[in-house]
Amino acid sequence: MTTIDTTATTPATTRYIKPAKATNAFNEMVLKLTKLGVSVMGSRVLSVRGRKSGELRSVPVNLLKLNGERYLVAPRGVTQWVRNLRAAGEGQLSVGRRTETFTYTELADAEKPEILRAYLKRWKFEVGVFFDGVDAKASDEKLLEIAPGYPIFKIS
């Protein structure tokens, strides 16, 4: 079961969906496979310094490649990795022993519809539950409407 923070006073920019226990188990499996060098449909291990602890935190993410650019999308909203990445200003993406340090540009809401559509085309089976019925066939207007709840980072 997915827990969604939907209080009336919570703006979309602080939207967060807490992972269910099954999600945590799936993520742990993908994390282990990716660390071993097996990318699961484009998975990477994202490692970022914790904003409070300073310790390196790792989580599996889906790296979207679109039109020669690379993006990280946060389908569950403003997660811990999003907060840590914003504070750190850089992160690392790994598959097996290959690790790349990166910086990013966070996209404005107006830039998100094309990225959200491509992300949903590729991973709807995995992340569709976090999009409340919105899919890759949604209008640009609908994707723009939901954009504030989905942080997106262009990797440089």
Which residues, at least 6 apart from 56, have a Cβ–Cβ distance to it below 8 Å? 47, 48, 49, 50
Backbone phi, psi, residue 50, to 5°: -65, 135
Which residues, at least 6 apart from 58, have a Cβ–Cβ distance to it below 8 Å? 31, 45, 46, 47
Residue whose tokens read 């404005």: 108
Residue whose tokens read 């188990």: 25
The greatest distance separating any two alpha carbons of the chain, rounded to the nearest whole angstrom, comes to: 45
Q: Read off the amino acid at residue 52.
A: K
Residues of the chain with pLDDT under 50: 1-10
Distance CA 17, CA 6 (A): 9
- Tally helices (H) and strands (E) across the chain: 4, 9
Class of domain 3-155: mainly beta
What is residue 11's predicted lDDT score, i.e. its pLDDT?
59
pTM: 0.88
